[in-house]
């Protein structure tokens, strides 16, 4: 019996000293996770990104690069959100859209670029301003990380691998009732009381806490808004090449047209 106890003790000590065992993920609190990832994003300078928006059978993709800093995020991207390629640039809080040449007469401008805004009174902004603004916001990790800080609860965490890069993988539930006016997917504040509940977010962070991938699963919201059972809605954004030049400029002023209401 004594010999068996000694063998068991040695086995436990060996396990405790096993340097190959992975340490646990860094964060157990959603706010601490969001604060660290936000700080790492801001100091990371810039990154390339690719976004995949899948709602049921409808799918759109985008890719571009973003520059992060204390003064906010600037980005340039190309997306097929409207069914054909469109370039967007977000600089100093203004969102510019390059109107496809065949659509400029319909929009009411002869110049390639226009400024769009969710509260714009011109027809182009009224139709696409809100959607394009949300699309640009979802490319900015700070947007989702702010939601995680305000309304998130970590439900699981593990050390993982993403495309050959060591990562910490977190699953977080966001409480709709705690998000206030900062709601995803164009959800109106007065709909929160009807829907309630939570929706999941997944985050992969590198060893300096910079985001590698963020997945928003909006399927519960789609179902709550009357979507068919089993309908899915996910936004997946992947970040690569952190620390690159990140050169993002506004279009030349003489190339930006003025839209009339």
Residue with tokens 């340490």: 23
pTM of the model: 0.82
Residue 186: per-residue pLDDT: 52
Distance between CA 152 and CA 30 in Å, rounded? 6
**What is the per-residue pLDDT across 177-219, written as a single tens digit (0 to 9) for each?**
887 666 555 555 555 555 557 889 999 999 999 999 999 988 7
Q: Is the pLDDT of residue 248 over 80?
A: yes
pLDDT band at 59 (very low <50, low <70, confident <90, very high): confident
* Mean pLDDT for the stretch of residues 85-109: 84
Please state, in angstroms and rounded to a whole number, the distance separating the CA atoms of residues 129 and 118: 4
């Amino acid at each position: 019996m004594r010999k068996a106890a000694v063998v068991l003790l040695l086995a436990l000590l060996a396990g405790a000293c096993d340097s190959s065992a992975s340490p646990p993920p860094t964060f157990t609190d959603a706010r601490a996770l969001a604060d660290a990832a936000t700080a790492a994003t801001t100091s990371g300078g810039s990154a390339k990104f690719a976004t995949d928006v899948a709602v049921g059978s409808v799918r759109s993709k985008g890719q571009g690069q973003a520059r992060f800093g204390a003064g906010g995020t600037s980005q340039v991207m190309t997306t097929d959100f409207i069914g054909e390629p469109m370039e967007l640039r977000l600089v100093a809080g203004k969102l510019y859209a390059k109107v496809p040449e065949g659509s400029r007469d319909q929009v009411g401008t002869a110049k390639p670029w226009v400024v769009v805004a969710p509260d714009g009174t011109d027809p182009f902004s009224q139709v696409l301003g809100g959607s394009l603004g949300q699309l640009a916001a979802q490319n900015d990790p700070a947007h989702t990380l702010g939601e995680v800080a305000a309304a998130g609860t970590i439900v699981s965490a593990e050390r993982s691998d993403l495309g050959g890069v060591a990562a910490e993988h977190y699953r977080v539930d966001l409480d709709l009732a705690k998000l206030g006016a900062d709601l995803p997917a164009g959800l109106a504040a007065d709909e929160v009381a009807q829907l309630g509940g939570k929706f999941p977010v997944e985050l992969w962070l590198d060893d300096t806490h910079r985001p590698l991938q963020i997945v928003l699963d909006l399927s519960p919201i789609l179902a709550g808004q009357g979507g068919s059972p089993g309908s899915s809605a996910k936004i997946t954004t992947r970040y690569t090449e952190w620390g690159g030049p990140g050169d993002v400029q506004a279009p030349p002023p003489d190339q930006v047209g003025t839209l009339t209401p």
